Structure 1
Amino acid sequence: MPIPIRRAESADLDAAAGTLAAAFDDYDWTRWTIPAEGYRDRLEQLQRMYLGHARDQGVVLVSDDLRGVIALLPPFASPPTAEFQREVARLHGERLAVLTQAQIPAQPENAWNLATLGVHPDSRGIGLGAALVQAGLAAVAQVSGAAASVAMETSGERNVARYERAGFTVTATTLIEQGPTVYSMVHIAAR
């Protein structure tokens, strides 16, 4: 039975940010880039900001029960405002310096960015993440055409195989000194 996935509405974003905060609670990248003090609150605030930007500029999809979320940004998205960037810097606090020093390869030109994907821990193992990825790729194809590519990064080694099953390939592996390993990946649609 297919899992119902739909475009997020503004009213969904707070709950969706809560889902992402739960999904990323023990994630290497967020644990490395967000201060331990007030971590969960900072994480949820950052996720809410990013979801709002992605909904305004790209595509945010959710499961009907809001236990799964995916956000994608098009290559033509406007950059966040200066106010947005200041708030992001405030929430990252003293960890902003390590975040800005990370040397991760640029994503391919004209590729969409799979900015985030998260499934609430209580809803893992039922295929929700895979359904969100497929729905996200379909939404990108609908907006940009069947040949659109989608790029992303993950610092979860287990995630690599999951994304490979969806047609992504690893394009770079970045070992960050005293930080997580980041896998850059891309999905190139059949032409």
Structure 2
Amino acid sequence: MTHLIREATSGDLEPAVETLRTAFADYPFTRHTLAADDHLDRLADMQRLFLARIGIPHGRVWVSDDADAVAVWTTPDSTGIADVFAELAPELGRIAGDRAEISARTEAALAPHRPTTPTWFLATVGVRPDSQGRGLGKAVIEPGLREADAAGSVAFLETSLEGNVALYRKLGFEAVAEVDLPDDGPRTWAMRREPA
């Protein structure tokens, strides 16, 4: 099946947020790092902030034509990201709620395994549950992989679902670390893909 995949615009923001909210509703990482009260609203707020302040203005975001699938990348050309993250830190802490300290410890545990050289970082990818199993995840990731290959750049991601590891291996990623997150958090795989 051929899917129409395109770069996202600001008009895709709310449909993309809804896709990511439903895709990550029970994801172990976000369940661990965002408070349980109003969890889905917190999740939507986090995805909205990331898309509107990081992905769309500074990174690259691809969506299926109906926004049932979304992939958000930061790239070696994403300038000023560190400053934006620093600016957003208080808001991200508010969104995490009573899990803010756990979220900070989680980020600290993952940081040593993240690339220190320019990288295409697949920050988030999600497919609406009722659209899964049709190849949309792969289709929405592939444009970023092609761009990374064209630039001769490494691609990187993290996943907290063991079932995703095999999918990402099919796309050329290899696990470079398995991290048992602090505070009884889920195991998370750091995965790297060399340019083709």
Q: TM-score, normalised by structure 2?
A: 0.91
Match of 2:191 in 1: 185
Equivalent runs, 1:142-157 vs 2, <5 Å: 142=150, 145=151, 147-157=152-162
Equivalent runs, 1:31-180 vs 2, <5 Å: 31-52=31-52, 53-77=54-78, 78=80, 79=82, 80=84, 82-102=86-106, 103-104=109-110, 105-108=112-115, 109-142=117-150, 145=151, 147-177=152-182, 178-180=184-186
**Greater fraction of residues in helix:** 2
CA distance in 2, matches of 1:135, 1:155: 23
Number of aligned positions between the proteins? 187
SS, match of residue 47 in structure 1: helix
Choose 96-105 or 156-165, whichever is displaced more: 96-105
Match of 1:30 in 2: 30
Residue identity matched to 1:125: G
CA distance in 2, matches of 1:83, 1:171: 30
CA distance in 2, matches of 1:83, 1:173: 30
Match of 1:14 in 2: 14
CA contact (8 A) 2:16 2:69 kept: yes
Give the Å deviation of 1:20: 0.2
Give the Å deviation of 1:149: 0.9
Residue identity matched to 1:57: H
CA contact (8 A) 2:148 2:195 kept: no
CA contact (8 A) 2:121 2:157 kept: yes
Gaps in structure 1 of 5+ consecutive residues: none
Distance 1:132 1:21, change over 3 A: same
CA contact (8 A) 2:4 2:64 kept: yes
Q: TM-score, normalised by structure 1?
A: 0.93
Give the Å deviation of 1:139: 3.3
Residue identity matched to 1:9: T
CA distance in 1, matches of 2:187, 2:85: 29
SS, match of residue 113 in structure 2: coil
CA contact (8 A) 1:59 1:139 kept: no
CA distance in 2, matches of 1:12, 1:186: 28
Distance 1:67 1:76, change over 3 A: same
Percent of aligned positions that are identical: 38
Q: For each residue in 1:95-137, what CA deviation from the matched residue of structure 2 results, as whole angstroms up to 9, or x when unmatched?
A: 1111111211332221121000000000000000011121221
Give the Å deviation of 1:81: 5.3
SS, match of residue 126 in structure 1: coil
Give the Å deviation of 1:82: 4.4
RMSD: 1.4
Gaps in structure 2 of 5+ consecutive residues: none
CA distance in 2, matches of 1:40, 1:97: 19
